[in-house]
Structure 1
Amino acid sequence: MPTSDTTVNTPVFREVPSDPIGVKVATLRNGLTVYLSVNDNEPRVYTNIVVRSGSKQDPADATGLAHYMEHMLFKGTSRIGALDWEQESVYLEKIADLYEAHRQTQEAEERSRIYAEIDRLSNEAARLVAPNEYDLLAGAIGAKHTNAYTWVDQTVYVNDVPANELERWMKLESERFRMMALRLFHTELETVYEEFNIGQDQDARKVNRAIREVLFPTHPYGTQTTIGTASHLRNPSQRKIQEYFRTYYVPNNMALILSGDFDPEEVMALAERYFGSFEPAALPPFSFDAQPQPEAPVYREVYGQEAAFVDIAWRLEGAATDDPMMLTLVQSLLSNYQAGLMDLNLNQRQQVLDASAWAWYYQDFSVLGLAARPREGQSMEAVEQLLLGEVERLKKGEFDAWMIEAAVKDLRLREVKSFEQNRGRVDMMSQAFILGIDWARMTNRYDWWAAVSKEDIMAFARERLGANRVVVYKKEGEDPNVLKVEKPAITSVELQRGQLSAYAQEFLSAEPEPIAPVFADFPAHIHRQELQPGLELACVRNTENELFRLDYVYEINKQCDPRLAMALGYLPYLGTSRYSAAELQRQFFRLGLSFDVHVNDDYTYLTVSGLSESMEEGMHLMEHVLMDVQPDESALQNMIGDILKRRADAKQNRNFVLRRALGSYARYGADSPFQNRVPEAQLRQLQADELISLLKSLQGYKHTVHYYGPEAAEQVAKWVGQIHHRASALKEVPRARSFKQLPTLQNEVLFVDFPIVQADVMLISRGTPRFDLGEFQLSEWYNEYFGYGLSSVVFQEIRESRALAYSAFAYYSSPDRADQAHYLQAYLGTQPDKLVEAIPALSGILKDMPVVPGQAEHARLSILRRIESERITKGRYFWEALSAQRLGLEEDPRSGLYQRLSAAALPDLEAFHAAHVAGRSFRYAVLGSKERMPMAELAKIGPVHELSLDEVFGY
């Protein structure tokens, strides 16, 4: 790919004068596009390397190829990860030939023989590899969020690096994209098999596929999936993967997209130095036939374990047209989680559960969708008609004209908030490149929206949102189309953990000058004053934009009174003597504000946020709601019915069952914070006045008012003093109920029979019963080295070496309150038949941690590099101080962590493992289908307790 000419030209930036984030776009001579947005709030740079091709470009006979190749871009090159490339490359060529032979062979015995030879040669080649060296090097420069994703039009590679490491990041990435070594291929293929099988348990993915098949009958958006078909995954072609790489991974089809603390001209010089020699190539034209629109609604049924829902979708035109612009505005008018037609007419009026509008934005087409779940006893046909009724309101103009202006204002507010973070900026720039939209058009789209009239919306809805739709009923039940990809026979690969390639040794020897860490000085940044005994004002000045956030923070929580969650959930359905519930939402929306309420196990929050110019009016409105809220018995009864329906639906949500219900049971048993809820009998007897009284009682308790925004503390104090209603003498918060975290005295299995293809296993073990600062500090190193990331011991041993799981990790968690325990936790997501090997493998390395001194040291330094370049942003000062306070700390905990790890050495890590990890017993929380589960093997771990969903949920 590279050539030798590296002459640097003065960059010519394309800019848009009205751009709020000052994006500079430039193009190298070879066609590589560079997007840059400077943001010096912290010395870090968020990066995307975007390839403008995805599963749409997969060959029809080799689907899943783009996604599989994304995985392989983490495996290295002839330099990254190569201990002896000359010898390894010979093995890899033989393996590639064998895969072609395997692909062309139909006879089962011969296929098995070929795969056995692939397995043998792969093990020989693996001895010449430094595994996951790319991830190790990314970690060494302090990278975070190292990841990638593939979708229909794009493949995107993500990193977040310290600003002083930008050159080494460029150097590493240019080498990464120079060529692709298909090493450790067959174990990674097993990982993709796992990902395919995971998709068999995800109802939303199956519904999306049904929609695509109808809307895109002859386009790859509908005829192919990103994960690929089972038959193609069983028959991969390394030759086609390399051909795809050579064809599409060329500079004129790629972009470097960066936001952070840097000099744009220096970045362009680096881009030219490291990527300027890459050779462009002509891209194959992509063409497709016009897709017929359905002439009448097309119905599809999808079955699965999760709760039922209805999805409706219409196909619109692609990124080169105005359709996506109108789509964004229409989606917001229908559903903005506050005052959209669906928000007010369906959710707020309790007509359905969780109605929302969604959108897909692709190069060739776009899609508008509506979705909702039925209430108890409600038919899917009724839900469908209610959703379509809101589209009819658009067509008839049954909405206020000012809603368009308010929707545009809301879109801008969301964007301003997202632009506070580098990732939000990079995501927007990436979307522009992927869709081929000029940045000026992206920046000026608010002018386009401002010119849209009510009549335009009505005409668009009448013309485009008619009978030409697909309707999917996602029903509860066994899916007859579930197809599992079986694993081939794989021998565990012997990994060379302690070795580094010559490239890595040279790379690691060239460290830049470190960045001096900066820790939050909470007293200096948070202005605190007592407004009266028991009422404190905490202010942080926002100098970046015109957004504010005001919170009333009460230490009363749902463990003090479980009814509080009911009361706060009831509030959005209520009006006052002046406004109906819907009118209240419209008032906040018109002002560019949001009013939110929330309660958890620690605090209750009442929050108003949005445009600073509306803050005073917003405070008056929020106080009016709290003081004058009126009961509505019908709304209460509907809410109670919906709560019970949601509780039932939660039992069908795999992640909720495992992580919330079963995970809580493993920590506490049946007497847990999770199960401490208002029981059904008491729930049905709740009275509206009872909940209103509970809401109004909040004004009588001690609390804190937190403000983040552009106003001075004196002005905020004045407004709070004049507007905020509270008792003259504030009471202490009642004591919350406490729960015993059970000690882990022996190995035991908690098993729940659940109809999924995969198996989920969580290992949970209680450690030190109270927060320990030293334990927290060393656990960060342990997690980085042992349990997190592609270069961690767990990942390399369980996934890379043995291909025993799609997902595997371990971590030593610290509590968020001083009186809570530390936990050692681990997770396996794999096939039931692999548990026989996977559980002992994971348990074994938890007990006897493999120690690779160099890798452990890189993990320690990686944490230090990240801390040096991290900054707590102003909007987080109060919340970070509150978190530290809950642990009994007065200062930024990163300060002590940095000092401790700066002085730490390998014996400290080994001592931590010996004291807090080795020899631990575990509760194995296992979720999966009993008929597929190796129950006899589980019994070898310890006593098996088969639990029902009713037992782990408490209802």
Structure 2
Amino acid sequence: MFKKKILMLFAAAVMFSAQAQDYQWKEAKSGGYTYKYVTNDPTQARFYTLKNGLTVILSPTKKDPRIQAYVATKAGSKTDPATNTGLAHYLEHMLFKGTDKYGSLDWAREKVELDKIDALYEQYNKTKDETKRKAIYRQIDSISGVASKFAIANEYDKMMSAMGAQGTNAWTSFEETVYTDDVPASSLDKYLAVQAERFRNPQLRIFHTELEAVYEEKNRSLDSDGSKVFETLFSNLFQNHNYGKQTTIGTVEHLKNPSLVEIRKYFNTYYVPNNMGIVMSGDFNPDETIAKIDKAFSYMQYKPIPKYTFQPEVPFTAPVIKEITGPDAESISIGFRLPGNKDKDVLLADLVGSILTNGKAGLLDLNLVKKQKLLRASAFTYTLQDHGVLWLSAAPTTGQSLEEVKTLVLQEIENLKKGNFDADLLPSIVNNIKKQKIQETEKYGDRASSLVNAFTSELDWKDQVAYVNDLSKIKKEDVVAFANKYLGNNYVAVLKRKGENKNPQKIEKPSITPVETNADKQSSFVKMINDMPNTPSQPVFLNFDKDIQKSKIGKAEVLYVPNTDNQLYRLRYRYKIGSLNDLKQPLAAQYIQFLGTDKKSAEDISKEFYKIASSFSVSTGEEYTTVNIEGLQENFDQAVKLYEDLVLNAKPSEEALAALKARIAKSRKDAKANKGAILNGLTSYALYGPKNKFNNTLSDAELNAVTAQELVDRMKNLNNYEQTVIYYGPESLKNLTAKLGSLHKVPANFAVAAPAKTFKQQAQSKNQVLFTDYDMVQAETRWIRNTTAYDPAQTTLVNVFNNYFGGGMGSIVFQTIRESKALAYSTYGYYVQPQKKSDQYYMMSYVGSQADKFGDAVGAMNELLTKMPELSDNLELAKSQVKKDIQTERVMQDDIIFRYLAAQQLGLKDDIRKEMYTSVDKITMADVKKFHTTHFSGKPYTYALVASEKNVKMDDLKKIGEVKKISLEELFGY
């Protein structure tokens, strides 16, 4: 996974003036511990360094009864041994497998077998003769089967689920490996006990099946044109540094030759307290929490960390142009090498990224995207410890070459270097970033994310808190000087062309005997954790009559929730007309952003919105078209007037429409080259038949016949339809309705939209395979089966079933198909609930596997759909997940309104979670089994399959069911 851009948080009290604040490190003592903090830090973060060197960062906030927790190690693929690339990522996977205390039924007997496996892998690693290698691997496979009889798979995930954790996962990047869990505040003691044990003495059990999962992850990256672009760009930008010399997931050769000795050596070198950090934000007492962390992790011993060294990169004297081919759409990526994140110019680098593209008023936004000179364009700074990259990405429109796109993008770099941009763009960017920081401080998860990213990047938190203040001091001439210093003919450009991959790679499937998972067993450590006392939070249910205030503006209903935290607002007009009523309405919603009025150009309007740190968007779904206007309340009137004036006075532009049609034509062509879009199209085909929601779109001829005037007329007529006004913000309801009464004119009578087109879900009467050919290593398969109409009484059972069967890493599907049989990196199976009371439920299962594992993967999923294993402890865990999620979920802000509207769609008057909470304990295994038998076992399915005809055999598909090859034209409707 790639590192997120560093987030800096700012409190609601931060205003949009140039007010200077003092940001200094201070020291304080509390609860017997000394900590540091930064003055005027809205996260109120405390920075502790324990005696063994462990960093602990705590940011308390009591809005939600939950804690976002990270355990981070400042080591990633940059520090992988050159002979064992991908090792840090391997290790990340293995740190979910347990220790000598959990994950094992009989550690003494298991260890004997694991030691044998260690020795065999060292032989395997050093052996070149393929015949001998296969013989050694057969031994590994055989002994792994014996060892697995003493192992318990996924005990970590089960412990976290039992305590109510969400988002349990991890990622590895160039300079970090981070383990993440979002836990109920009441489970803090359990969480710390598990984490302290997790890093004490990890064991590399069930290794060869997990290794196969990593193989699958590598194969997915080999199928990804985006991954190939990234690796090509970085390998050419950084020829002396591991940013370019090594990849996070590793080479095929190294993945095929792992060394458990080297993995342990890496763990012992880098997983030491002075190189690790624990970061938490949420509902806790920091004095109590630091004492608990200190006690839990005091066993860790300080060790010196080897410093990564590298040779300076040789400056580019001319552009480096590289080409790759693959099935995805054409694009170009351009990278300029920049200094690392400690350099004084890094602040300018961030600002340059925003000047080029900020989604509204950047040079690329206004000069290329708004004027529709290409399909898309963006720029951002990717800053790491030792180097950075200014990364520009763009895609051509119809009839445009990649060379032409490159010229257009580089022209904007020249504009930057010449200072051809408005001077007031800089304060506008600062204002918008300030607004963004206010939004980010609303959530405990965002706070924790910012803090952990700063820790692993070794950034001074004082600089992060002062970020916007420092940004506001930069002048236009500083930007121009930076651009001329760094952005010359010293770039790498990767031209991604559409075509057959000339050098396909894949890791061959080894012969793996399914291992035991002992899913119905439990170690004594897990029992101890589960038995630890805790007092769960009491659930808070919505009362739609009390939590939402209602009013009227003429005939339009107003739904209102106050913002008592800050001065931001979100206003929406929700009109009762969608794509099912009129296929041209979505096009009109797109078109309006490229139009101006008789007094202002489209670019002028974008600039005006951006200057006041506001924005608007129009989107059309199946049933509704929604206008969204948001920003700072003090600019509410100005922003609403800007939007209303645009719609009232929009001038049709045939030139803008022609460019939009060309871009849509290119987007359509690109969609046909996207395997994810193809799989979604097949899924819709399986649900509804040949004419379905996915291909319910304008034909090419219909699109070409659309006129500018009819689209403008649709936008001007939009306000005549039935509408609901949705507001979340600091204005009182009385003042809001008074203001909108004059700003937003609601008609005396609403127009009625054309009848909505309907699509009926198709009954599966026989097994059928819907197949579309795609040039890829993997085979991606979904199982689809429509069942019965919505029944609110089934909600609790459906949620329990999904948790139990296939909705997470502890589920039966994941444990069987990935953990035991190593058939896939990604797999799931869940029962999809309707969004409308008139719709039906449907089953959707998925396996993404190597094509040569396709038959085994299909067989494994079909076996689970036919006969569901009955594991009573797993069922109790699934029920506990439902209950604990409800206990700690707090629905706030305008989410309250959207829950209300969603309940209306289902014919519900109350918060369905209340019924779920009171009924979940009554669910039995007999209920789940009957549910499975009634809806899934022995029933026909439609298989949606995307794969290469070269890699899967039609005869094998015919054994599953009737095969129907679906062309791209049938699938997409154009």
Q: CA deviation at 1:732?
A: 3.7
| Counterpart Cα distance in 1 of 2:142 and 2:32 | 52
894, 909, 912: which one pairs with 1:893?
Answer: 912
Displacement of 1:573: 0.5
- 2:406 pairs, out of 347, 370, 384, with 384
Match of 1:725 in 2: 745
Among 256, 272, 284, the alignment partner of 1:250 is 272
Q: Which residue of 1 aligns with 2:191?
A: 169
Match of 1:3 in 2: none
Q: Which residue of 2 aligns with 1:355?
A: 377
Question: In structure 1, what is the Cα distance between the partners aligned to 2:673 and 2:289?
Answer: 49
Asked if 1:111 is matched to 2:101, the reply is: no
Matching of residues 16-27 of structure 1 within 5 Å: 16-27=38-49
- In the alignment, the residues of structure 2 paired with residue 511 and residue 825 of structure 1 have an alpha-carbon distance, to the nearest angstrom, of 38
- Contact between 1:58 and 1:65, CA under 8 Å: does it hold in 2? yes
2:715 maps to 1:692: no
Q: 1:843: how far off?
A: 0.5
Q: 1:502 aligns with which of 499, 524, 532?
A: 524
Task: Give the match for residue 598 of structure 1.
Answer: 619
Q: Distance in 1 between matches of 2:846 and 2:433?
A: 39
Q: How far off its partner does 1:728 sit?
A: 2.3
Aligned to 1:568: 589
Retained in 2: the 8 A contact 1:65–1:241?
A: yes
Tell me if structure 1 keeps the 8 A contact 2:575–2:719: no
Q: Where do residues 233-272 of structure 1 align in structure 2 (5 Å cutoff)?
A: 233-272=255-294
- The residue aligned with 2:299 is 277
For 2:956, the equivalent position in structure 1 comes to 937
Residues 215, 293 of structure 1: 8 Å contact kept = no
Alignment check: 8 A CA contact 1:102 1:114 kept? yes
How far the C-alpha of 1:782 sits from its partner, in A, is 0.7
Aligned twin of 1:444: 466
2:169 maps to a residue whose letter is N
Offset at residue 233 of structure 1 (A): 0.6
What corresponds to 1:735 in structure 2?
A: 755
Deviations 1:300-341 (A, max 9, x none): 001111000111111111111133321211111110111111
- Equivalences for 1:706-725 in 2 at 5 Å? 706-725=726-745
After TM superposition, the structure 1 stretch with the greater mean CA deviation from structure 2, 104-113 or 566-575, is 104-113
Contact conserved, 1:568 with 1:598, CA < 8 A, in 2? Answer: yes
Per-residue CA distance 1:876-917 (angstroms, 9 max, x = gap)? 111111111111111222112112213322222222222222
1:744/1:922 contact within 8 Å kept: yes
Shift of 1:286: 1.1
> Take 2:783 and 2:450, find their aligned partners in 1: how far apart are those partners?
39
Is residue 727–residue 894 contact of structure 2 (8 Å, CA) maintained in 1?
no
Q: Which amino acid aligns with 1:745?
A: S
- Gaps spanning 5+ residues in structure 1: where? 1-7
- The CA distance in 1 between the partners of 2:857 and 2:312, in whole Å, is 49
Name the residue aligned to 2:798.
779
Pick the aligned partner of 1:458 from 457, 467, 480: 480
Q: Deviations over 1:482-507 (max 9, x none)?
A: 21111211111122111101111111
8 Å CA contact retained: 2:581, 2:623: no
Shift in Å at residue 934 of structure 1? 2.8
Q: Which residue of 898, 909, 924 maps to 1:905?
A: 924
Q: Quote the Cα distance in structure 2 between the aligned partners of 1:669 and 1:643.
A: 25
1:199-598 equivalences under 5 Å are 199-533=221-555, 535-598=556-619
Between stretches 317-326 and 166-175, larger displacement belongs to 317-326
Amino acid at match of 2:182: D
SS of residue matched to 2:840? coil
Match of 2:20 in 1: none
Equivalent residue of 1:41, what SS?
coil
Q: CA deviation at 1:423?
A: 2.0
Q: Is 1:747 aligned to residue 767 of structure 2? A: yes
Note if contact 1:835-1:934 (Cα within 8 Å) is conserved in structure 2.
no
* Preserved contact between residue 832 and residue 934 of structure 1 (Cα < 8 Å): no
Does the 8 Å contact 2:777/2:850 carry over to 1?
yes
Tell whether the 8 Å contact from 1:748 to 1:941 is kept in structure 2 after alignment.
yes
Q: CA deviation at 1:9?
A: 7.6
- Aligned to 1:930, what secondary structure does the other structure show? coil
Alpha-carbon deviations, 1:50-97, whole Å to 9, x = none? Answer: 110000010000000000110001111111111111111111111101
Alignment correspondent of 2:101: 79
- Say whether the 8 Å CA contact 1:355–1:371 is kept in structure 2: yes
Percent of aligned positions that are identical:
39
Over residues 149-169 of structure 1, what are the superposed CA-to-partner deviations in whole Å (9 max), with x where a residue is unaligned? 100000011111101001101
Cα-to-partner distance string for 1:700-723 (whole Å, 9 max, x where unaligned)? 111011110111111111111011
Secondary structure (helix, strand or coil) at the match of 2:34 reads: coil
Mean Cα displacement is larger for which, 13-22 or 348-357?
A: 13-22
Say yes or no: does 1:764 pair with 2:756.
Answer: no
1:636 counterpart residue number: 657
Q: Which deviates the most, 219-228 or 912-921? A: 912-921
**1:611 partner amino acid:** L
Q: For 1:85 and 1:478, locate their aligned partners in 2 and report how far apart those are by CA, in whole Å.
A: 50
Tell whether the 8 Å contact from 1:329 to 1:408 is kept in structure 2 after alignment: no
- Give the corresponding residue for 1:951: 970
Q: What is the root-mean-square deviation of aligned Cα atoms in Å?
A: 1.2
1:859 pairs with 2:878: yes
Secondary structure at the counterpart of residue 12 of structure 1: strand
Q: Does 1:803 align with 2:825?
A: no
1:610 to 631, 645, 661: 631
Matched, 1:880 2:885: no
User: Aligned AA for 1:296?
Assistant: A
Displacement of 1:430 in angstroms is 1.3
Q: Contact (CA 8 Å) 1:526, 1:538: kept in 2 or not?
A: yes
CA distance in 2 between counterparts of 1:295 and 1:422 reads 46
Code of the residue aligned with 1:687 in structure 2: it is T
Q: Counterpart of 1:578 in 2: which secondary structure?
A: coil
Aligned residue type for 2:293: A
> 2:25: which partner in 1?
none
Q: 2 CA distance for matches of 1:89 and 1:872?
A: 47
Out of 820, 824, 827, the residue aligned to residue 846 of structure 2 is 827
Q: Contact between 2:620 and 2:626, CA under 8 Å: does it hold in 1?
A: yes
> Counterpart in 2 of 1:5?
none
Deviates more, 1:59-68 or 1:737-746: 737-746
The code of the aligned residue for 2:491 comes to R
The secondary structure found in structure 2 opposite 1:74 is: coil
Query: 1:380, CA displacement in angstroms?
Result: 1.1
**TM-score (normalizing by structure 1):** 0.98
Deviations 1:99-156 (A, max 9, x none): 0011111111111111111111111110001111000000000000001110000001
Matched positions, count: 945
Please tell me the residue identity of whatever aligns with 2:655: S
Map 1:60-75 → 2, pairs under 5 A: 60-75=82-97
SS of the residue corresponding to residue 475 of structure 1 reads: strand
CA–CA distance in structure 1, aligned partners of residues 88 and 843 of structure 2: 37
Could you list the per-position Cα deviations for residues 740-776 of structure 1 after superposition, in whole angstroms to 9, with x for gaps in the alignment?
11111111111111111100000000011x2111223
Where 1:88 maps in the other structure, the secondary structure is helix
Tell me, what secondary structure is at the counterpart of 1:885? helix
Q: Secondary structure at the match of 2:299?
A: coil
Question: Are positions 1:622 and 2:640 aligned together?
Answer: no
* 1:556-591 superposed Cα distances (whole Å, 9 cap, x missing partner): 111110100110110011001121000000000000
| 1:649 alignment counterpart | 670
What CA distance in whole angstroms lies between the structure 1 residues aligned with 2:752 and 2:62? 43
Mapping for residues 672-687 of structure 1, pairs under 5 Å:
672-687=692-707
1:836 touches 1:934 (CA, 8 Å); kept in 2? no
Kept in 2, the 8 Å contact 1:742–1:766? The answer is yes
C-alpha distance in 1, partners of 2:68/2:521? 29
Gaps of 5+ in 2: 1-29
Q: Offset of 1:221 from its aligned partner?
A: 0.5
C-alpha separation in 1, matches of 2:501 and 2:718: 48
Query: TM-score, normalising length from structure 2?
Result: 0.96
**SS of residue paired to 1:767:** strand
Could you report, residue by residue, the CA deviation over 1:911-942 in whole angstroms, capped at 9, with x for unpaired residues?
Answer: 22222222221100010001110322211111
